[in-house]
Structure 1
């Protein structure tokens, strides 16, 4: 599995929490999508999946075109529902919800939104569907910073509580995860970063 974070948007640049707001890629994000496709051109990718939010879908399209496949969308790979945080500047979130903006914030439910546990469960359910359809080979999944963080935390056995140990993934960045079906679950193997760490790893504007 090649987990790809979508390219940048104007809300990323403005440091606004995006969540499931359907914000398009900006010019930089479109360039990052092309760069991700070029970086993955040497991989034999059998299928490309993406969150149905346009910033993920439009990042996935150049990757799919490079490999002659169509993008399959799955809302299971959407970003966390940020609830009351959606569209709010990070500094304002820190000011208004200080009790939720601490070292454990990657494990906190968003007010009026989802919890990381809920996101992890739906993303793992989506991943199981992918593995059932493609039990071997290589699949790219284009998603969001938070969702990818919690998937990788599950793969490494950290769980949501330990997800703060992970470095953030830059826009257009890629993490390779070995996975295979294991009964009703998933057996994970090697996890490898194929990008550099994002300087904004603690921002909730995934």
Structure 2
């Protein structure tokens, strides 16, 4: 069995004002750094065999705080990046329905093959994103069999793992809250992810935590 701690990065300035990040590389803000330090302190008595992080700096900075107290290095993997939202990226959530009404309607319909409008980056459908993320999660689950690892990533990545463990269809509405700097525990039995604990933010002030997509999706 592999123990997997799937962790969302700390808060960014864009999280705080509800501006969609996706692949855009936004650093932690002061609150996010505080959250990452609190997260690292909460985990310092759990021996981690590896820490793997998305290559976006908000995840790398969060992973760095954990690694510092663990006394180990970080492995960087772009396969754990957040979903790319194409032209939605960089926009405030409240602006998206007005800027891209048709694409926004398709997104909210939970169509797993809905495309995003072009932007700085090429968007990913739900299906392509889910496939990319789960290939990488299962790769590390098998590589570190019988060990405990932390994967530091993003809200969308956490949602993919939740859906996989619960065997939910890709077009099902999201049913959980995804907090910054939350700890989400899974086991891998050699075949399938099993959800053990979701949304642990006991190390944070719950009043100051933000959900990934503010329940818009």
TM-score grouping bracket, smaller chain normalisation:
0.7 to 0.9
Q: Does 1:177 align with 2:186?
A: yes
1:44-98 residue CA offsets vs partner (Å, 9 max, x unmatched): 2111111000000000011112222111011111001110001011111122334
Q: Is 1:10 paired with 2:13? A: yes
**Uncovered stretches (5+) of structure 2, i.e. residues with no partner:** none
Q: Structure 1 residues 53, 39: closer, same or farther in 2, change over 3 A?
A: same
Summarize the alignment of residues 97-112 of structure 1 with structure 2, pairs less than 5 Å apart: 97-99=100-102, 100-101=104-105, 103-105=108-110, 107=112, 108-112=114-118
3-state DSSP of counterpart to 1:91: coil
- 1:203 to partner: Cα distance: 3.3
1:132 aligned partner: 142
Range with bigger deviation, 38-47 or 64-73:
38-47
What's the counterpart of residue 188 of structure 1? 193
Q: Structure 1 CA distance, aligned partners of 2:195 and 2:20?
A: 31
Aligned-pair CA distance for 1:137: 1.6
- TM-score, scaled relative to structure 2: 0.83
Aligned match of 2:155: 145
Following superposition, which runs of at least 4 residues in structure 1 exceed 3 angstroms of deviation?
101-109, 196-205
Asked if the contact 1:61/1:71 (under 8 Å) is kept, the reply is yes
Distance 1:159 1:204, change over 3 A: same
Are 1:35 and 2:38 an aligned pair?
Answer: yes
Partner residue in 1 for 2:176: 167
- Quick one: distance in 2 between partners of 1:94 and 1:74? 32
Give ranges in structure 1 of 5+ residues lacking alignment: none
Indicate yes or no: 2:70 matched with 1:60. Answer: no
Give 1:109 shift.
Answer: 3.7
Map residues 83-98 of structure 1 onto 2, 5 A cutoff: 83-98=86-101
CA RMSD of aligned residues (A): 2.3
